Structure 1
Amino acid sequence: MSARELPTGLMLVHGNQPERMRDLIVQWIGQNPLAPLEKEMFLVQSNGIAQWLKLAFAADPEAGGCGIAAALEMSLPSRFLWQAYRAVLGNDAVPAVSPFDKSRLVWRLMRMLPALLDEPGYAPLKRFMANDEDQRKCFQLAQRVADLLDQYQVYRSDWLAAWAAHEDVLIDARNARVALPEEARWQAALWRALLADVSAQAADGIGLRDTGRAAVHEAFMARAQAWRDGDARPRELPRRLVVFGISSLPRQSVEVLAALARWSQVLMCVHNPCMHYWADIVADQDLLRARHARQRRRAGAPAQLDEAHLHLHAQPLLAAWGKQGRDFIGLLDEYDSDEARETYTPHFTRIGQRIDLFDGEDALTLLQQLQDDIRDLRPLDETREHWEPVDVQDDESIRFHVAHSAQREVEILHDRLLAAFAADPTLRPRDVIVMVPDIEVYAPHIQAVFGLLDASDPRSMPFSVADRAQRAFDPLIGALEMLLALPYSRVTVSDVLDLLEVPAVRTRFGIDAEDVPKLRNWIDGANIRWGLHAAQRASLGLPQADELSAPNSWAFGLRRMLLGYAAGERAGAWRGIEPYSEIGGLDAALLGPLTRLVDALDHAWRTLSEPATVEVWCERLRALKTAFFSAGDGEDAYTLDRLDGALETWREACDEAALTQPLPLAIVSENWLAALEGGGLSQRFFAGAVTFATLMPMRAIPFRRVCLLGMNDGDYPRSRTPLDFDLMRRDYRPGDRSRREDDRYLFLEALLSARDHLHVSWIGRSVTDNTPRPPSVLVGQLRDHLKAGWRLAGNEAGNEAGGGEALLDALTIEHRLQPFSPDYFPAQPEAATLYTYAHEWGTPVPQPRDSARAAALSAPERDEPLSISELGEFLRDPVRSFFRQRLRVAFESEDAASENHEPFEVDALQAWQLQGELIRAQLAAMERGEADLEPAALARLERMHRSGDLATGGFGEVIGEELLAPMPELFAEYRKALARWPDPLEHQYEIRLDATLDGRILSLDDWLSDLRAGPEGALGRVILEPGTLVKDNRYRGDRLVPYWVAHVAAQIAAGPVTTVIVSKVGVAEFAPLEPAVARDYLLALLAAWDDGARRPLPLAVKTAFAWLRKLPDSFDGARASVPAEAWEAARGAYEGNGRTPGERDTNAYLRRAFADFEALAAHDDFVVLATRLLLPVSRAPLASSRAKRASSDAGETA
């Protein structure tokens, strides 16, 4: 058959295996080619089907392909059918886009609805749209009504025709007419109003009034029926049309395909799960119009099948899930007569093919047997007799996995796939599809599990995630979303820093990725928190203020930065602005881009805040896009082009709808962003990797392994609450779409598409209390069917029920809550049901007694000597020092909430820092010889207010008073201490000490200053501590530790020195030490530092001091001499007592290294370290008449 002799007509091929129909299509086109350069047109419903067909054509001829996939055009049915209307009726008669298209109708309704509300019959809409100042209700109603009318045009065109003729009726599937309910009469009136409005814009010819889908379809059908042989064929129609992978079409679309068969060869491949007639096993079979069926009844089935005998002749799963497919096949039967098949069957016979491709293969596995039952319409009674018992050791074709969370589902899947690849070298990642109800829910878990491993890891496998909304993964769209929310946004530090993480934004403003941390530090240092300026804050409901009284805003912070760079800190405040002087040198060039970014945000905020017409909005949004984004790569350029295209399409739709009213930003931004999520065939699929996708209709592509995750009760089948005014829900017709029916048929298609294995998992256990949770009702039906139809091999004869239950238990794997459960690491893994390839979880955990010495690192490489402050910080928290200094790991997380809010209150650390600044200001005043220190303190407090360190208004005044309150008494005590050593020494004293450790030299090298001389040459150091030294009548040992280390070092550097530490609450005094004692202590501390750089030392300072307090004075250092009450006190200090958190609870480093007190104190290291390093600190402070009253009763060190 040559290309010029291509016969026309509608040809239908049925089959239960899509790959067989695909091979037929490839062979048919290969042997019946079109003319050169003529395109083959395919109608598909998903990108997966399109890619699958292209791969088949591109396969080598030896593999059944054509060797090339060229001139193949894939289209969605709705798009092609509108093109067919235009090809037959003429482009002048039918516009490229109908004014009744949903995307166009929304904006016409936006204009018309407010004007119609006062007319009779619109009372329901008027009630809904009350109090709609921002037009949001109107927009939402317009969207829903447009969607509903779009559905009516496809599925209820007879209603619209009656309404247009002023007949307010509903027509049911049996063609009976009933009056339209009173509360719904507004729908008929609105349709007539829409027709009249469109008609008013009509041009010559057929007129826009007639370009609704229903009217155009009617005109098309009339033209097709009037066509006679010899009439000119529409040139723009393809000569061949292949419909593949579509499991449902509305009647209107099938009518068009049948009509096109007059001019074109229309080849439809129908995925039919059953080779026999099965329409009467599903509800509402009496509504089908077909008087004949292509498939014949199964042998032994009665001509009339009533509900009472359904179980004797029906396959239960097909009856439960097949309604959508039944409707579609029944609709096709109306156009597939015996006479028609006789005309095209010989063409297929000539190339060795058939039009009914129902092939039964040897059903060796449980999955194949189940599929064979559906193909053969085998009832349950026959199933029990037909199949042998299942040996689950050899048959792994179906498995159910019960998990505790979505994360565990993905981890389990990863392990199972690794096992499958290891067991079958022919299995490739592209042979696996994983489908979930909502890919956005699972995408983070997929990335966390499959994206965790490096490509060099043998456990790594390629994967791709399809069907994600662009705004969920495209940072440019996320940034645009933030910008479009500016009028309602606080414009926090997090918001702007998130913008700077977007490459297209950085490119626009000339900022490199490595510059962002520096900008973050400047922003934090300038005390920027939120708000562009005072006016922007006022727009959010805050009291109006002048620009200079908006501390912590972006304008406030930028003024500080610019003044600090221009004048420096010493210049002092200027017009109430406190300079931020940390910016200088070449780094200052970054201030320009930051300022331009904030100025652009300010301009965008001002322009986006006011409603505007469509034309103005298009100008604004294009300017916004240009101001903030510059494409740095092809993906960004493509996204920006799509944004431009979406704006142009929206403008055209609004122009056509004559929408001239001003619109608010909320409506405009929602429409613009939603336009990027439009359906199409551009999503990536079949990327040569494990494919993750959303469960979507018409994806019945065969895969060797089909995995269904998230099959939870309530999540699948998915439900959508119908609109109250949706009249279709009261009147079912075959072919109507339903989300739940779609999902049922999709589950059936997924079951039929699996060739080797079906993996089903759900969250079947609560993550909090392990209580069971049911699976999806569809999974429950599948499990019940397997239990009723098969039995486990080896089960006692005659015990059918028990055999089915035992089989279900064998097919179901109950997984543990955590991936590191010991159950996943059995002694004989080859025979285990539970296993994992994440061997990191199985690393043997050292016993608590050995944990202090486990996995020590090599000796640290340090070229520079240690300083006194480093040793002090180490002793204060050795475990934190190990993680931070050796491992470079920080567990403290930045508090995003605090960086986005002004400081209404200060915590203990902030108070310590601020009071430290006040102390330094007053010390400087003392050095200048000022007797009254209050002015210096007040001046520094005023700088804090100007710098944004304190809250504005009353909050800041209260905080300032609290910070100043202890200062007079603190400095009075400080002066008393200074009087003991009245003469400050200018000389600095060097301390240098070398420790030899395993042949290495570890040095301490530092300088001591601030020493003072007293009578008879006595030396002393007086230190002001901003915090408190005494709590609960005890010295706080953790506060004393750094001062103790410096005190010991002073004994070696300068001789006998007394140290006095003065704090808000408490004064501590360290007496001089013998130089030999001080030397031995520092050598021991250097050795501990070296050990602590190799492993986390089992020493928690607060816990150790609680332990030391309970030791007798006669303690000899032996573990056996420690009284029980000391251990109990230490345990309470470390783990807490239920009311008060312990040291472990407030220190993430301790939690990581020592989970409980047993792990901390199991080894003798705790006793040795606490005794050697902290016992001297515990007994060092002297209580004297010079100490404050609060410390006079201290007696002990906490």
Structure 2
Amino acid sequence: MTHAIRPGLLILQGNRLELLRDAVLHWLAQQPLAPLKEEIVLVQSNGAAEWLKMALAAQRGICAATRVELPARFLWRTYRQVLGRDAVPPQSALDKSVLTWRLMRLLPLQLHQPGFAPLTHYLQGHDAQRRLQLARKLADLYDQYQIYRTDWLDAWAAGRDVLLDASGAPTPLAEDQRWQALLWRTVLDELSDAERASIRPRVQRAMLQALADAGAAAVRLPRRVVLFGASHLPGALLDALVALSGQVQILMALPNPCRYHWADIIEGRELLRDVPMRRGTRNDIDLAAVGLEAMHAHAHPLLAAWGRQGRDFMRQLDAFDARATAQDEPELPREGLFDEAPGVTLLQQTQAAVRDLLPLQEHPRNPIAATDRSVVFHIAHSPQREVEVLHDQLLSLLAQQDCANPLRPRDIVVMVPDIAPFAPAIRAVLGQYSPGDARNIPYDIADLPARATEPLLLALAWLLRLPDQRMHATELGDLLDVPAIARRFGLQPEDRPRLTHWIAGAGVRWGLDAAQRAHLGLAACGEQNSWSFGLRRMLLGYTGAGESGFADIVPYEEIGGLDAALIGPLADLLDVLQAWWRTACGTATPQQWAQHARDLLDALVQPQELAERQTRARIDDALSAWLDDCAAAGFDEPVPLAVLRDGWLGAVDDAPGAGRFMAGGVTFCTLMPLRSIPFEVVCLLGMNDGDYPRQSPRNDFDLMRQPGQYRPGDRARREDDRYLMLEALLSARRMLYISWA
């Protein structure tokens, strides 16, 4: 009954996501919402969303009346519910996408101001594209400050050029970094009062105050919010959930690799000593009193080496859990959901040792069976060979008969540091066998950017680089291989070989014409063997001018018969490219570029299939999103084509829906945070020294990385990757497979 849904905050922790999932599903079934009320479930990855929705569908028969969304989207929607839609706009005035173009406009105006010498030196003599790269980095940095360093931004807005450490002690900004505070004040000064109030830290404070004053009516809020499977959350979201728990039932089900208190086994523990300890200690040993040099005798080495990111998150949870103890909590057991199995295989024993915080000398010395293949390592000489070895190993695994628990392709995940370099090898190895072949393994590749897989987007990316292209004969041939483009010019697939033969026979090699070659600095090459040269030869050959030709043009005499009509579409295509090249070599405002781009698409593309229409719609939506960001930032400066390309294609890549996760076959994807979904077989490829943990280039102006400025919960790429490795180890159920080249 819905009257039993009482507000409060509950944090469940466990080392197996299946146990947490079952507990959450049981709780939802025991306390259903009223009909037509929507269940809110927050996850931090699309993979976790798919996995949880399938579990809900398996339990209920259908996954309906359930909103599964990302926490950031939920948080902004909650701001608008609590404070009102008039007080909070649909988008913050300083969201990263808008802030990028605001900085793009403001940076040139500040370069001659006192304090901006470092930026002046960096941008001096460079074009708009370099300025855009800097604006993107700065927008991302200020976005991180809005999440993790709101106290810095408040101090800078008040005119105090200082950094505050974890204890709140101020440190003056270095002289060569004062421009960050100056630039932030410049951004704030041009905002209206309403826009300034819509900055995330200020909206957050306003919502917390409204909830504390009981000014938000409960009817505006959902009855229950479930946060599932996250391994990291910003403090702003945790603050909001604690505040909401006074009126909303908040159920958090979060993975924890260890049943005991383990925060003190890693350096940086002194920053967390004031946080109450919510989990018990192993053997009643206070690890805070043990020196780090002696910690190997009291803790698991993998947890100490790879667990820093998770440690910080667990301690954050302890602090927020302590704040909620005085509230009216749901009547759920508060102990963690940890399994008790000692483990039979090597993989299971390792997972149990991490769970129980066993130091190396206390690990059970059980002999490993000769048939134990639960942890497998392979070394190969190239990524291609890694995939070939993996294919053979998966065929062997899938061929093994286990009537009690048969292995299916969907039970296997293959993760790599970067999926893009591996995608061609995956398609070459696994895609060579047809579905009827015994060696065929169904698979899906997730996380690839759309423009790396869809022909129309590949063609668009090429067109947006036209001023720098040599326009080889094969490149225009690839353009005509795109069905939507060939359809626009009335060409059929069977026409392509004849056109290719004519293009080669007419001597077309590269270059649109003499002017285009001169633009590339190759004026000495003239027009010989260009597209203009070859087209004139073909047209003159069609007229039957004979071997003598006309005006020093030698005709290409193979043009004739009914097939001669193919020259018309080719000439039309070259006319479109000629017009676009002239436009692309100039500059234009964002509005003008958008119109030029739409004219180009209308002239080149005729979508017909559903997938083509969806791609065209995605392209148009991305262009509109870029225009909206520029308009919101007041950016209307004439810019070269490269700026349009970065803004437009970047918006295409950011659009949701690229790639498929858990679609039925073996899932190939990038190693990303928050993917600790259990799979029977977890494979990690490309684990080369230097490639993983992945390198994160350090920005000199990233003040969060300055000595003495670290705070628990700060994100770091290498620490994320180490924790990802730990999550991969703990999420494998039958085999952990690791290979490198």
**Could you tell me the TM-score, scaled by structure 2's length?**
0.96
Structure 1 residues 726 and 249 mapped into 2: Cα distance closer, same or farther (>3 Å)? same
Q: 2:198 aligns with which of 201, 211, 217?
A: 211
1:322 correspondence with 2:307: yes
Is contact 1:47-1:683 (8 Å) kept?
no
**Matches of residues 323-342 of structure 1 in structure 2 within 5 Å?**
323-337=308-322, 340=325
SS where residue 733 of structure 2 aligns? strand
Deviations 1:604-634 (Å, cap 9, x if unpaired)?
1112211011111110111111111221322
Is contact 1:290-1:331 (8 Å) kept?
no
The residue that corresponds to 1:969 in the other structure is none
How many angstroms apart in 1 are the aligned matches of 2:630 and 2:306? 42
How many angstroms apart in 2 are the aligned matches of 1:320 and 1:40? 38
The residue that corresponds to 1:242 in the other structure is 226
The residue that corresponds to 1:672 in the other structure is 648
**Matches of residues 82-161 of structure 1 in structure 2 within 5 Å?**
82-132=76-126, 134-161=127-154
SS where residue 377 of structure 1 aligns? coil
The residue that corresponds to 1:257 in the other structure is 241
How many angstroms apart in 1 are the aligned matches of 2:337 and 2:106? 53
Is contact 1:490-1:530 (8 Å) kept?
yes
Q: Which amino acid is the alignment partner of residue 195 of structure 1? A: L
Deviations 1:672-693 (Å, cap 9, x if unpaired)?
1111111646641111111111
Q: 1:718 aligns with which of 683, 687, 694?
A: 694
- CA deviation after TM superposition for structure 1 residue 307, in Å: 1.7
**Matches of residues 330-479 of structure 1 in structure 2 within 5 Å?**
330-337=315-322, 340=325, 343-344=328-329, 346=331, 348=332, 355-383=335-363, 386-391=364-369, 393-425=370-402, 426-479=406-459
SS where residue 714 of structure 2 aligns? coil
Q: Which amino acid is the alignment partner of residue 387 of structure 1? A: R
Q: 1:182 aligns with which of 175, 178, 184?
A: 175
How many angstroms apart in 2 are the aligned matches of 1:339 and 1:514? 70
Q: Which amino acid is the alignment partner of residue 593 of structure 1? A: P
- CA deviation after TM superposition for structure 1 residue 342, in Å: 9.1
1:226 correspondence with 2:213: yes
How many angstroms apart in 1 are the aligned matches of 2:524 and 2:415? 53
- CA deviation after TM superposition for structure 1 residue 4, in Å: 4.0
Q: Which amino acid is the alignment partner of residue 625 of structure 2? A: T
SS where residue 11 of structure 1 aligns? strand
The residue that corresponds to 1:596 in the other structure is 572
The residue that corresponds to 2:608 in the other structure is 632
Deviations 1:487-511 (Å, cap 9, x if unpaired)?
2222221221110111121122111
- CA deviation after TM superposition for structure 1 residue 544, in Å: 8.4
- CA deviation after TM superposition for structure 1 residue 557, in Å: 1.3
How many angstroms apart in 2 are the aligned matches of 1:323 and 1:345? 31
Deviations 1:1146-1185 (Å, cap 9, x if unpaired)?
xxxxxxxxxxxxxxxxxxxxxxxxxxxxxxxxxxxxxxxx
By relative contact order (CA 8 Å, sep 6+), the higher-ranking structure is 2
Give the length in aligned residue pairs: 735
How many angstroms apart in 1 are the aligned matches of 2:283 and 2:328? 27
SS where residue 700 of structure 1 aligns? coil
Deviations 1:223-276 (Å, cap 9, x if unpaired)?
222226xx62262x3222111121001111211121222232211111000000
Structure 1 residues 343 and 276 mapped into 2: Cα distance closer, same or farther (>3 Å)? farther
Deviations 1:526-576 (Å, cap 9, x if unpaired)?
11112222222222223389xxx6221212211111121123535x31222
Is contact 1:46-1:681 (8 Å) kept?
no
1:760 correspondence with 2:709: no
- Which segment is superposed worse, 486-495 or 120-129? 486-495
Is contact 1:527-1:557 (8 Å) kept?
yes
- CA deviation after TM superposition for structure 1 residue 306, in Å: 2.2
The residue that corresponds to 1:170 in the other structure is 163
- Which segment is superposed worse, 526-535 or 110-119? 526-535
The residue that corresponds to 2:719 in the other structure is 741
Q: Which has the larger radius of gyration?
A: 1
Q: Which amino acid is the alignment partner of residue 346 of structure 2? A: L
Q: Which amino acid is the alignment partner of residue 169 of structure 1? A: V
Deviations 1:990-1047 (Å, cap 9, x if unpaired)?
xxxxxxxxxxxxxxxxxxxxxxxxxxxxxxxxxxxxxxxxxxxxxxxxxxxxxxxxxx
SS where residue 715 of structure 1 aligns? coil
Q: Which amino acid is the alignment partner of residue 397 of structure 2? A: A
**Cα RMSD, aligned residues only:** 1.8
How many angstroms apart in 2 are the aligned matches of 1:574 and 1:682? 53
Q: Which amino acid is the alignment partner of residue 179 of structure 2? A: W
Deviations 1:503-529 (Å, cap 9, x if unpaired)?
121122111112111101111111111
- Which segment is superposed worse, 689-698 or 207-216? 207-216
SS where residue 250 of structure 2 aligns? strand
Q: Which amino acid is the alignment partner of residue 717 of structure 2? A: R
Is contact 2:41-2:228 (8 Å) kept?
yes
- CA deviation after TM superposition for structure 1 residue 129, in Å: 0.9
**Matches of residues 589-668 of structure 1 in structure 2 within 5 Å?**
589-668=565-644
**Matches of residues 1084-1123 of structure 1 in structure 2 within 5 Å?**
none
- CA deviation after TM superposition for structure 1 residue 302, in Å: 2.7
Q: Which amino acid is the alignment partner of residue 700 of structure 2? A: D
- Which segment is superposed worse, 216-225 or 448-457? 216-225
Deviations 1:316-361 (Å, cap 9, x if unpaired)?
1101111111111111111213973995463x35xxxx65101111
How many angstroms apart in 1 are the aligned matches of 2:133 and 2:299? 45
SS where residue 706 of structure 1 aligns? strand
SS where residue 335 of structure 1 aligns? helix
**Could you tell me the TM-score, scaled by structure 1's length?**
0.60
- CA deviation after TM superposition for structure 1 residue 661, in Å: 1.3
- CA deviation after TM superposition for structure 1 residue 704, in Å: 0.8
- CA deviation after TM superposition for structure 1 residue 481, in Å: 1.0
The residue that corresponds to 1:24 in the other structure is 23
Deviations 1:681-732 (Å, cap 9, x if unpaired)?
6641111111111100000011111111111100100011111111000111
Q: Which amino acid is the alignment partner of residue 261 of structure 2? A: Y
SS where residue 430 of structure 1 aligns? helix
Structure 1 residues 338 and 79 mapped into 2: Cα distance closer, same or farther (>3 Å)? closer
Deviations 1:932-955 (Å, cap 9, x if unpaired)?
xxxxxxxxxxxxxxxxxxxxxxxx
How many angstroms apart in 2 are the aligned matches of 1:480 and 1:502? 11
SS where residue 321 of structure 2 aligns? coil
Is contact 2:249-2:330 (8 Å) kept?
no
How many angstroms apart in 2 are the aligned matches of 1:76 and 1:681? 14
Deviations 1:745-790 (Å, cap 9, x if unpaired)?
0000000001111111111xxxxxxxxxxxxxxxxxxxxxxxxxxx
Is contact 2:511-2:517 (8 Å) kept?
yes
Is contact 1:12-1:355 (8 Å) kept?
no
Is contact 2:246-2:327 (8 Å) kept?
no
**Matches of residues 785-824 of structure 1 in structure 2 within 5 Å?**
none
How many angstroms apart in 2 are the aligned matches of 1:569 and 1:81? 75
How many angstroms apart in 2 are the aligned matches of 1:193 and 1:445? 49
SS where residue 357 of structure 1 aligns? coil
Is contact 1:12-1:269 (8 Å) kept?
yes
How many angstroms apart in 2 are the aligned matches of 1:524 and 1:715? 43
Is contact 1:503-1:632 (8 Å) kept?
no
How many angstroms apart in 1 are the aligned matches of 2:481 and 2:324? 66
The residue that corresponds to 1:305 in the other structure is 290
How many angstroms apart in 2 are the aligned matches of 1:35 and 1:603? 61
1:522 correspondence with 2:498: no
Unaligned runs of 5+ in 1: 60-64, 764-1198
How many angstroms apart in 2 are the aligned matches of 1:716 and 1:45? 22
Percent same amino acid among aligned pairs? 50
Is contact 2:8-2:327 (8 Å) kept?
no
Is contact 1:15-1:357 (8 Å) kept?
yes
1:287 correspondence with 2:271: yes
How many angstroms apart in 2 are the aligned matches of 1:754 and 1:154? 32
Is contact 1:400-1:759 (8 Å) kept?
yes
